[in-house]
């Protein structure tokens, strides 16, 4: 992928994210008043940190809505800033980091749950939508792993080949997973099978991405990659909060960590390529 092709991709994704942000705003007018009337849901996210925070805070759909809206806005703002600051910078890591950022705009799909309560959306569309959401999530985290591998010295002659590998890996993960479209938890995520396996995959991807950036510091002889790895670590933690928490312990620290971690990693990456 040439620099000009990459920048065209950035502009197209920014336009897509802008549409997603406008749709989120429009849908919010419909679903936000509904949150006060949704009955109590016994299913809360079965995540480790959520287990502790869930004892301190009651589930709040307004907090969940704030989390997913923040992710959509973050995706738009993040891609716009990357295009502004890296338009003339040819770095393979940046392309995959942009995929990671772009994946968050699909969190708007979670709003199909309250919309279904209002309009009774056919099950087929809910199923397809949730598979798209899962695909976007794993495409995003696999893309960050690809960015770290490029930093560590992986030679990829054609970016398209690596992109196809990421797409194939994400499809393998989400295609066969059973999804219970009749059940959803208080973070507006539907219940799907093999959840423990998915947690292991996410944890492995997190460790692989952070470790590879640390390795890149030794391979490339630049300590800046250690800082990038730390930024990625913080961004992943913020992502975890925003995707899985069902209370106000999620959106505020989550968007702060995700934004700071991504900015910190990209700023250090910019510093490295300024001297190349």
> How do residues 89-117 score in pLDDT, each as one tens digit?
778 888 999 999 999 999 999 999 999 98
pLDDT at 55: 67
Please give the pLDDT value at position 156: 61
Helices 224-244/48-56 angle, 10° precision: 60
Q: Are 238 and 254 spatial neighbours (Cβ–Cβ below 8 Å)? A: yes
216's CB contacts (< 8 A; 6+ apart) are: 148, 151, 152, 153, 222, 225, 228, 229
Across 7-22, average pLDDT: 95
Asked if pLDDT for residue 47 goes beyond 80, the answer is no
Q: Are 222 and 148 in contact (CB under 8 A)?
A: no
* CATH architecture of the domain with range 3-38+60-274: Up-down Bundle (1.20)
How far are the Cα atoms of 50, 121, 138, 160 from residue 32, in angstroms, in the given order? Answer: 23, 18, 28, 41
Give the per-residue pLDDT at 259: 96
Could you tell me which residues come within 8 angstroms of residue 250 by beta carbon, excluding any fewer than 6 positions away? 53, 63, 64, 67, 241, 242, 244
Domains of the chain, by residue range, sit at 3-38+60-274
Q: Which two tokens stand for residue 36?
A: 């006060």
Smallest CA-to-CA distance from 104 within 18, 17, 19 is with 17
In angstroms, the CA 156 to CA 154 distance is: 6
> Do residues 233 and 261 touch, judged by C-beta distance below 8 A?
yes
Taking the C-alpha atoms of residue 226 and residue 222, their distance in angstroms, rounded to an integer, is 8
* Residue pLDDT, tens place only, 54-93: 667 788 899 999 999 999 999 999 999 999 888 887 788 8
């Amino acid at each position: 992928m040439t620099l000009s092709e990459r920048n065209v991709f950035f502009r197209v994704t920014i336009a897509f994210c802008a549409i997603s942000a406008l749709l989120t705003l429009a849908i919010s007018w419909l679903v936000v008043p509904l949150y006060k009337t949704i009955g109590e849901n016994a299913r809360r996210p079965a995540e480790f940190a959520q287990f502790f925070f869930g004892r301190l805070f009651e589930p709040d759909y307004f907090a969940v809505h704030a989390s997913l809206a923040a992710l959509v806005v973050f995706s738009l703002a993040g891609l716009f800033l990357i295009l502004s600051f890296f338009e003339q910078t040819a770095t393979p890591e940046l392309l995959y980091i942009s995929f990671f950022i772009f994946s968050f705009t699909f969190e708007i799909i979670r709003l199909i749950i309250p919309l279904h309560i209002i309009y009774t959306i056919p099950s087929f569309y809910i199923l397809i939508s949730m598979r798209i959401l899962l695909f976007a999530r794993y495409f995003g985290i696999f893309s960050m792993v690809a960015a770290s591998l490029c930093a560590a010295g992986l030679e990829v002659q054609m970016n398209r080949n690596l992109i196809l590998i990421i797409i194939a890996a994400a499809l393998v993960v989400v295609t066969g997973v059973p999804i219970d479209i009749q059940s959803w938890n208080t973070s507006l995520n539907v219940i799907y099978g093999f959840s423990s396996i998915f947690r292991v995959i996410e944890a492995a991807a997190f460790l692989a991405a952070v470790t590879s950036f640390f390795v890149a510091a030794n391979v490339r002889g630049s300590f800046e990659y250690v800082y990038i790895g730390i930024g990625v670590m913080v961004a992943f933690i913020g992502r975890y909060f925003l995707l899985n928490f069902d209370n106000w312990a999620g959106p505020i620290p989550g968007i702060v960590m995700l934004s700071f971690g991504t900015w910190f990693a990209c700023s250090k990456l910019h510093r490295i390529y300024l001297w190349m």
